[in-house]
A and B are shown apart, each in its own frame.
Chain A
Amino acid sequence: MRQLKTNAFAWFLLLPSVVFLALFTFYPMGKTIVLSLYRKDLTTRIPEFIGLDNYIAMAGDSTFWKVMSNNLWFAAVTVPASIALALAMAVFANKITRFKYWVRTSFFSPTIIPMIAVANVWLFIYTPEYGLLSRAINYVGQGNLNWLGDPKLVMWAMMVMIVWKEAGYFMIFFLAGLQNISKELYEASDMDGVGGWTVFRKITFPLLMPTTLFVMIVALTNSFKWVDHLWTMTKGGPDNASNLLLFYIYEQAFTFWDQGMASALTVVMIVLLLVIAALQFFGLDRKIHYQ
């Protein structure tokens, strides 16, 4: 009887959360899996069961593969770049005694700015001729590059912007990690006359490994989640050169109203995120100790 009462109390406490999770996480996930097996677009009003045809079409769609490779490429560059920079920021911000407030503020401020505002700022930086970057380049030499209009450059431009946006956020995790490293280790190596770079390589970096792995997972997830800037800056263009998976889903769903394909793409996205989660759970999580 007492058991039953405890269980009932627990379920009463969990109920509000579970209802919202069921409605907006589990139900939509199920819905998208089912709908991915149907044809439902502007010409097909009543959904028609087509099995795996959406997935087959996707596998043969060169735009899909372009978007996927863009996204993987995007992750492969921004994840290590922002981690390396964040680590450098943290070590620096931890060491200095003067300008501490300024340095931390400067590095962290992009974190609290909405992506859509970041897009506006960087749109003006990348604008040919009048943009800040073009002016800076013209000041030292010649050259008028259309950063967002050139399929070869646009991805790099976006990568730089994302690293600017998220490196400061990752910095705070490394700052926290640095506090946990015993001061005695540094004092001992100082007495032995070991150089700064060796200290970083032999002490700081290995001891920060758990933090690095955690940040890596967050950065990896972010590279699939962040697409707001595309709406303002390029709409995925030119010729899908800057398009990313989530924005492609958005286009399929709300520009072309191909609901079956949008669902199939969402399923791909879910699988990708679950793989990342599994990576963390099985491979890395055991080594991550935080606080």
Chain B
Amino acid sequence: MRYLTKLPQLLMFIVSLLWAVPLVWMLWTSIKPKSEALSTRFNFNFTFDNYIHVWQSAPFDRYLLNTLIIVASVFAVQLITVTMAAYAFARVNFIGKSLVFLVFLMQIMVPNDVLIFPNYLVVGEMGLIDTKLAIMLPFFASSFGVFLLRQAFMGIPKEYDEAATMEGYTKWQLLWKVYFPLGRPIYIAFGLVSVSYHWNNFLWPLIVTNSIENRPVTVGLAIFGLSQETGAQWSEVSAATLIVVLPLLLAFLLFQRQFMNSFMHSGIK
């Protein structure tokens, strides 16, 4: 009987091992010599040649730089737009509040991901096709961030407002000198979700870019994979995939708890 109750646990532990197989196998393939990529024999011949070859044959350094620029710029702008709007919703009483709330809700209900075609036309009208700005623009406003932060701002005691007013702060100063620093944990949570999203985004950047100068690393990876479809190139595609995945994966392994807490916040609406 005792063994029977342990059975589900054992089963789930096996699942946890299985869950890691795809990534471990990719890592394994990426550090095996090319000639052994398809062999079934087990040995310990390791090499970094695949990584070196990928780095030399495709401009992954440029792709990584592009992704970094995109991810950082989007988050920097979001920081400002989100903070301002969240403060308005949390602390200012204005006419039409519930209507504006609905306007923001729309972005959550109909995310930009599905508006790829009309947004391509919009970006085209602006003459921004094949620019990094085109990749970033649709994401400068984030309703998700606004709602997340609004909740945090509402939880800040009103005494802070009074104290700041006594000090002679304007509302604008109150926002940036009191609320902004107090919202720090939420900014970190939102930041991790935002950065992961834009690091991983693919279809939209694929559509609006067509040059190495503007391509993010996901699009670069897809194009690299396309040019090497045969089995003999597995090792290199694996290495390229790991180059793309590794920065976030390492961050996750180091800050597992923070990551999981942050992604959990995406449940709050």
Contact = CB atoms under 8 A, between A and B. Distances in A.
Interface of A: 6-7, 9-11, 13-14, 16-21, 23-29, 31-32, 35, 85, 88-89, 92, 95-96, 99, 101-117, 120-122, 124-125, 127, 130, 132, 135, 164, 168-169, 172-173, 175-176, 196, 214, 218, 221, 224-225, 227-228, 231-232, 246, 249-250, 253-254, 259, 262-263, 266, 269-270, 273-274, 276-277, 290-291
A95 B260 contact: no
A232 B231 contact: no
Nearest to B142: A17
Interface of B: 5, 8-9, 12-13, 15-17, 19-23, 25-26, 29, 38, 40, 80-82, 84-85, 87-88, 92-95, 100, 103-104, 106-122, 137-138, 140-143, 146, 171, 196, 199-203, 206-207, 218, 221-222, 225-226, 231, 234, 237-238, 241, 244-245, 248-249, 252-253, 256, 259-260, 263-264, 267-269
Contact of A266 (B114, B137, B226, B263): B114
A112 B196 contact: yes
Given A28-B122, A112-B252, A114-B218, A121 B22 contact: yes
Contacts, number: 262
Contacts of A109: 19-20, 23, 249, 252
A20 B80 CA distance: 13
7 contacts: A26-B103, A26-B106, A28-B122, A108-B256, A246-B113, A250-B207, A266-B117
B113 A225 contact: yes
A106 B256 contact: no
Contacts of B104: 17, 21
A221 B115 CA distance: 14
A10 B121 CA distance: 31
